[in-house]
Chain A
Amino acid sequence: MDDNENEFSPEQSLRLISSMIETTKNSLKDSSHYFLLWGWAVMIACIGQYYLKVIVNYPNHYIVWWITPFVLLVHVFFIVRDRKKEKVRTFINEAGSYLWTAIGLSFFATSFVFGKIGWEHCYPFYIILYGIGTYVSGSLIKFKPLIIGGIICFPLTIITAYLGFDYQIIMLALAILVSYIIPGYLLRTKYKKQQVNV
């Protein structure tokens, strides 16, 4: 781009402004790996817990959730790696990181609550937290699969509250599938298409 001030008409100015704003609007950050990391971790934990509790009647079926600290470490590794590559900070990215920090802190704080009142009550609350996170995140980046996945979590929360614990595990797996795993893959596909078109 040259700096030819004399040949620059007001019409060209407006076109330039809108094309530059469009450029930043389209620079969607690929955050699919976070959704897929947590999505598959929760899915594997749900399948593991269902197997241990329902199929083999193992009393310490909760041990599968010890996967969480390891996933958290991978998550931190992703954050550090992504920060290094980050060339631009948008307000949307910033709002998204505040949102997920709040959701992460909610999981942390509620773990103390469920430690006190009993873990058998936790799944409807976790499903609603998935719903809030993905609905707001999807709305921020205007990505329908995340919005729809998030919205589905709300009725799933209500249904889960009325089910026995064994079925609640299946509902949690279903919630993570519709709110994290499916939108995660679709987000990755969209990002790859965007990279090809740039």
Chain B
Amino acid sequence: MFKDLDPILHSQLRLAVISLLISVKEAEFTFIREKTNSTAGNLSVQINKLKDAGYIEVLKQFKDNYPQTICKVTPAGIKAFELYVKNLQSYLTIKK
């Protein structure tokens, strides 16, 4: 039987966010919204869930007098993502 997939990551938008952040150093909220094709409200909720799980770091700052939100994956987030992919792979192998 396959191991349970992490419920925090096994959601379309949260997985998209973490997959984006895993391959970059850091990204702005607007970049993530653009690439995941999501709404600001939904993305904001999902980012908070990832942040509460300790998978991402969220930095709020001002850039040229405009608020800016920067997201960055944490070591715990990398570990969780790696485990998620490993579990996915084992699930797909069993299924074959």
Q: Is the CB of B85 within 8 A of A10?
A: no
The interface on chain A, measured as residues whose beta carbon lies within 8 A of the other chain's beta carbons, has a size of: 26
Tell me if A196 is interfacial: C-beta within 8 Å of chain B: no
Contacts of B16 in A (CB 8 A): 1, 16, 20
Q: Could you tell me the distance in whole angstroms from the C-beta of A9 to the nearest C-beta in chain B?
A: 10
Q: Is the CB of B22 within 8 A of A90?
A: no
Q: Could you tell me the distance in whole angstroms from the C-beta of A43 to the nearest C-beta in chain B?
A: 34
Given A10-B91, A20-B35, A87-B27: A3 and B22 within 8 A (CB)?
Answer: no
Q: Is the CB of B24 within 8 A of A88?
A: yes
Tell me if B23 is interfacial: C-beta within 8 Å of chain A: yes
The main secondary structure of chain A at its interface with chain B is helix
Contacts of A116 in B (CB 8 A): none
Tell me if B59 is interfacial: C-beta within 8 Å of chain A: no
Q: Is the CB of A23 within 8 A of B25?
A: no
Given A8-B10, A87-B31, A88-B27: A3 and B20 within 8 A (CB)?
Answer: no
Contacts of A109 in B (CB 8 A): none
B residues neighboring A (CB under 8 Å): 5, 7, 10-16, 19-20, 22-28, 30-31, 34-38, 42, 46, 63-64, 84-85, 88, 91-92, 95
What are 27 of the A-B contact pairs (CB < 8 Å)?
A1-B37, A3-B14, A5-B7, A10-B95, A13-B10, A13-B15, A13-B88, A17-B19, A20-B16, A20-B19, A20-B20, A20-B23, A21-B23, A23-B20, A23-B35, A24-B20, A24-B23, A24-B24, A25-B23, A84-B63, A84-B64, A87-B27, A87-B31, A88-B24, A89-B25, A90-B23, A93-B25
